[in-house]
Amino acid sequence: MADTLNRLTEVFHDVFDDDDIVLTRQTTASDIEAWDSLMHVTLMLQVEAAFGVRFSSSDVTGLKDVGQLVDLIDAKAGR
């Protein structure tokens, strides 16, 4: 889980072009200024590519925070 969060942080740094982002399991879209609906789509595509997983729209629609995204990545990746 910590490894997933660390790798996910790198993806966020790349997508948002901001190396100052510090992710926790409690981080939400409202915590990152540039995280709007368009960036959310870009982010999910990059997360899929980085982790070699595929999300359905229903997978990502209900996500409330980064912790739930980490759990979803781990479940999809069989961790």
Q: Which domains does the chain have, with CATH numbers?
A: 2-76 (1.10.1200.10)
- Which uninterrupted H or E stretch holds 11? helix 2-16
- Asked if pLDDT for residue 70 goes beyond 80, the answer is yes
State the alpha helices, DSSP H only, in 17-77.
37-51, 57-61, 66-76
Is residue 12 classed exposed, middle or buried when 0-12, 13-18 and 19+ CB atoms within 10 A define those classes?
buried
Mean pLDDT calculated for residue range 33-59:
95
pTM: 0.91
The pLDDT of residue 14 is 97
Can you tell me whether residue 22 is helix, strand or coil? coil
User: What is the C-alpha separation between 18 and 37, in angstroms, rounded?
Assistant: 18
pLDDT tens digits for range 7-29: 999 999 999 999 999 999 999 99
